[in-house]
Amino acid sequence: MNGVETLPSAEPALPAGVARPSRALLAAAGKAIGEHAMIRAGDRILLGLSGGKDSLSLLHVLLHLQRRSPVKFELAACTVDPQSPEYDPSPLKPYMARLGVPYFYESQPIVASADAHMRGDSFCAYCSRLRRGILYRVARENGYNVLALAQHLDDLAETFLMSAFFGGKLRTMQAHYRIDAGDLRVIRPLAYVRERQTRDFAAQAGLPVVHENCPACFAMPMQRFQMKGLLAQQEQLHPRLFASLLTAMRPLMALQTDSSAPSGEGRGDSASLSPIPSPDSGGGELPGPRSGRGDEA
């Protein structure tokens, strides 16, 4: 052979501490991101980081894509600490500092507020609404235009069944939508990813998972866990169950991806099933002093 042989280019080296997700996990996340146009050039993405296996897996997926994708975007993360004695996400602070990812840590007495003020609502819905409002505020105050959440395909399937069984509607979480206020987009890059993929990756990579990060949910038999058990039972009988569910849910996931959707049509989140809407206008803030920017790396 004449000339110089061209060797395949090596993958860019990942920064120290960043784990390389499996090909299957990256492929599923990449497909969801591509099909729903989740990430655009110049986006500044804020990841909601609880410390669970799913949000930590998404952190490393986004760090990997940030390194390899021709579409350039910025990434930061925010943890909302609800001040529960069963949940301590503070070990995430030194971990995020080692990764070199800009990081915001917001501590708010959500559990105490729920005990004092929650009426006619589940703890999960109340906590989710307040956390989301805090994430919106942090994104706005620091110039981030996209909020990334780590719900996966199993979560979407459970929501789909809960909505059909108990709400009489065919709904699930949206993969990508613009909130009603119009200034932020919400994306779910793990929408095509199975929970077992994030669980396996977190274990193999030794990610510092914060366990039982929603103690109220673990303490009582909730509808979502009933749906999880039902799906697991049916998947044993029908191995392609989740592929079929994804096909069924795909039109529902994509209904509100158009950023020009009229006001009131862009909510796109399963929280709309709750009698109290999600805090699209930046609500969800508790009274009293807040932690501000917290521990930004």
Q: What is the pLDDT of residues 140-196, one digit of tens each?
A: 999 999 999 999 999 999 999 999 999 999 999 999 999 999 999 999 999 999 999
Q: Is the pLDDT of residue 20 over 80?
A: yes
The CATH label, of 3.30.300.30, 3.40.50.620, 3.60.120.10, 3.40.50.1970, for the domain at 23-273 is 3.40.50.620
Mean pLDDT of the chain: 82
How is the chain split into domains, by residue range?
A: 23-273
Strands of 103-107's sheet, edge to edge?
103-107, 74-81, 44-48, 146-148, 185-187, 176-178
Model pTM score: 0.81
Give me the residue label for tokens 């009582």. 220
pLDDT digits (tens, 9 = 90+) for 99-144: 999 999 999 988 777 777 777 666 777 788 889 999 999 999 999 9
